């Protein structure tokens, strides 16, 4: 069974500009008009989140604020039920299984999102924030997203006891080398 989702504009939602939510399909007669969300700026993503759409924009500032300075183009995380209904010319889209994880993502959710795109950065973020996150919640999020194999590759079991080992991890010496050569934690002023 596959869950399908559509964006349908309700009667009170007539305030949205057509640039932000252009028409996807026009139906004649009684069926509702379907729309496609265009998220090209941070304000577009914030507006969509205010309307309850499951989106999250991961910026390098968020990662840097949690102790790991990294530079990348912001990534748009979208619930997989809206995979074909959200377009963006500015951000790469990454699909997320769990719709609830996108409502108000905490550290554990964002760490799981980061695990999808940069495993070593996710490990380093977990290592630098030990004690600041709930390992049980991180366990649940990794399992919900089916990221056990990627978590095993970077030996995330060191920070999340009980997480199943799926596949072969990277050699410990390689991970130690990556930790030694990771950028230093930024100074807080």
Q: What DSSP line would sit under 17-83, residue for residue?
A: -TTTS-EEE--SSSSPPEE-EE--SHHHHHHHHHTT--EEEE-HHHHHHTT-------EEEEEGGGT
pLDDT value of position 25: 58
Q: Contact at 8 Å (CB) between 107 and 129? A: yes
Q: pLDDT tens digits for 36-75?
A: 788 888 988 888 888 888 899 998 888 888 888 888 899 9
Reading the block at residue 117, the tokens are 């795109």
- Higher-scoring residue by pLDDT: 176, 27: 176
Average pLDDT of 96-100? 89
Distance CA 37, CA 86 (A): 5
Whether this prediction's pTM lies above 0.95 is answered by no
Measured CA distances, 149 to 46, 129, 132, 176 (Å): 32, 22, 24, 19
Average pLDDT of 106-133? 89
Q: With a cut of 80, say whether residue 3 has pLDDT above it.
A: no
């Amino acid at each position: 069974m596959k869950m399908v989702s559509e964006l349908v504009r309700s009667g009170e939602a007539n305030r949205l500009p057509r640039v932000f939510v252009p028409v996807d399909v026009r139906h004649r007669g009684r069926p509702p008009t379907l729309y496609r969300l265009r998220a090209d700026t941070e304000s577009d993503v914030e507006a969509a989140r205010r309307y309850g759409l499951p989106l999250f924009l991961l910026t390098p500032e968020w990662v840097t604020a949690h102790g790991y300075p990294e530079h990348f183009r912001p990534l748009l995380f979208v619930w997989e039920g809206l995979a074909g209904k959200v377009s963006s010319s500015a951000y790469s889209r990454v699909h997320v299984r769990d719709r609830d994880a996108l409502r108000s993502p905490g550290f554990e959710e964002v760490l799981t999102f980061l695990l999808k795109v940069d495993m070593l950065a996710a490990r380093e973020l977990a290592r630098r924030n030990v004690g600041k996150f709930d390992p049980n919640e991180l366990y649940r999020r990794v399992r919900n997203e089916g990221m056990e194999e990627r978590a095993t590759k970077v030996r995330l079991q060191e920070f999340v006891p009980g997480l199943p080992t799926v596949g072969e991890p990277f050699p410990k010496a390689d991970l130690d080398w990556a930790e030694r050569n990771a950028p230093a934690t930024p100074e807080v002023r």
